[in-house]
Amino acid sequence: MTHHAVSAPGHRGLHAWLTSDSPTSRLQARCVQVYLGWLGLARNPLAMLGLGIVVVLVLAAIFAPLLAPADPIAQDLTRRLQPPGAPGFVLGSDELGRDILSRLLYGARVTLYVVALVVVTAPVFGLIIGTVAGYAGGWVDTVLMRFTDVFLAFPRLVLALAFVAALGPGIGNAVLAIALTSWPPYARIARAETLTIRNSDFIAAIRLQGASPLRIVIGHVMPLCISSVIVRVTLDMAGIILTAAGLGFLGLGAQPPLPEWGAMISTGRQFILDQWWVATVPGLAIFTVSLGFNLLGDGLRDALDPRSGR
């Protein structure tokens, strides 16, 4: 009885602390923002479905060695093109007798690897370019935005193909090519946010206190742009995955025998009429993961963007 009487107010106190209208510290303000954003996301069933798909992808990538029933590159030509449900093959086998389920699970690692590397490079570079252009203005803004427009003028896949053709095929070069073609939208978003922030009263007050432009941009402007960038990153995941799969399909991404979903579709397309599962299963994986990121991105936009009309 005593224990419940003590613990219950503590729980209520934490809830009140996380929902306070007047935070007393920067840490509390950030915690309140994250908590309220989570509550908004949790009220959206489609967003939670998308989050579930993304979590399954991450878990499949992490635990692929435990979940995969076979070696993803082990060949058995005596059991090639086995249909789904055949003994030892839940999702069938490919043209070299390799287990498709195992290759799908290990392919999740390749997909997550590409996504993670692009996420930690392209948005950061775009955020720096956009905030510097928006805060500096003048000729700096003009030069940086015209440079951005050059990259925006080309379709992402076409530009990525050009970079990979110049750098050579391989997963590392594919990631670099995708990152080089993915940053311009983040720069445009960050610049638009910075243009509305730089004339705010609190920025003027910080400037009067003697803060340098670099400190203002890094310490105050960039953090305010992050929520919009996060939403854009999540919505761009599907495009990144499709671009990586497109490069793999053309033989310019991950190289054999590394299991990659786009390459699996490429090798399976010649069997599409009779052994449909070879190309269809990885295609469904790409579709499902892309849908999950899109649903999650829509939910994050509604939860984090106060102008979304929520």
pLDDT in tens, 177-196: 888 888 999 999 999 888 88
Which amino acid, residue 42? A
Residue 276 lies in a domain: yes
Q: Work out the average pLDDT over 29-56.
A: 83
Tens of pLDDT, residues 202-257: 888 888 887 788 888 888 888 888 888 888 888 888 888 888 888 888 888 878 78
Distance linking the first and last C-alpha atoms of the chain: 42
Write a three-state SS string for the chain: CHHHHHHHHHHHHHHHHHCCCCCCCHHHHHHHHHHHHHHHHHCCHHHHHHHHHHHHHHHHHHCHHHHCCCCCCCCCHHHCCCCCCECCECCCECCCCCEHHHHHHHHHHHHHHHHHHHHCCHHHHHHHHHHHHHHHCHHHHHHHHHHHHHHHCCCHHHHHHHHHHHHCCCHHHHHHHHHHHHCHHHHHHHHHHHHHHCCCHHHHHHHHCCCCHHHHHHHHHHHHHHHHHHHHHHHHHHHHHHHHHHHHHCCCCCCCCCCCHHHHHHHHHHHCCCCCHHHHHHHHHHHHHHHHHHHHHHHHHHHHCHHHCC
pLDDT recorded at residue 2? 44
Distance (Å) of CA 67 to CA 53, 64, 89, 218: 17, 5, 13, 43
Reported as a pLDDT band with limits 50, 70 and 90, residue 62 is: very high
How far does CA 84 lie from the centroid of its chain? 31
Query: What is the average pLDDT score of the chain?
Result: 83
Percent with pLDDT over 90 in the chain: 19
Backbone angles phi, psi at 276, to 5 degrees: -60, -30
Q: Can you say whether the dihedral through the CA atoms of 95, 97, 103, 104 is positive or negative?
A: positive
pLDDT recorded at residue 11? 55
Q: Work out the average pLDDT over 131-151.
A: 89
Q: Buried b vs exposed e over 230-239: b needs ≥16 C-beta within 10 Å?
A: bbbbbbbbbb
Indicate whether 197 pLDDT > 50.
yes
* CATH classification at residue 297: 1.10.3720.10
Residue 32 lies in a domain: no
Residue 91 lies in a domain: yes
pLDDT recorded at residue 307? 52
Indicate whether 77 pLDDT > 70.
yes
Residue 36 lies in a domain: no
pLDDT recorded at residue 186? 92
pLDDT recorded at residue 8? 38
Q: Work out the average pLDDT over 128-138.
A: 88
Contact by Cβ (8 Å): 216, 203: yes
Residue 27 lies in a domain: no
What residue numbers bound the domain in which 257 lies?
Answer: 53-308
- The total number of structural domains in the chain stands at 1
CA gap 89, 129 in Å, rounded: 49
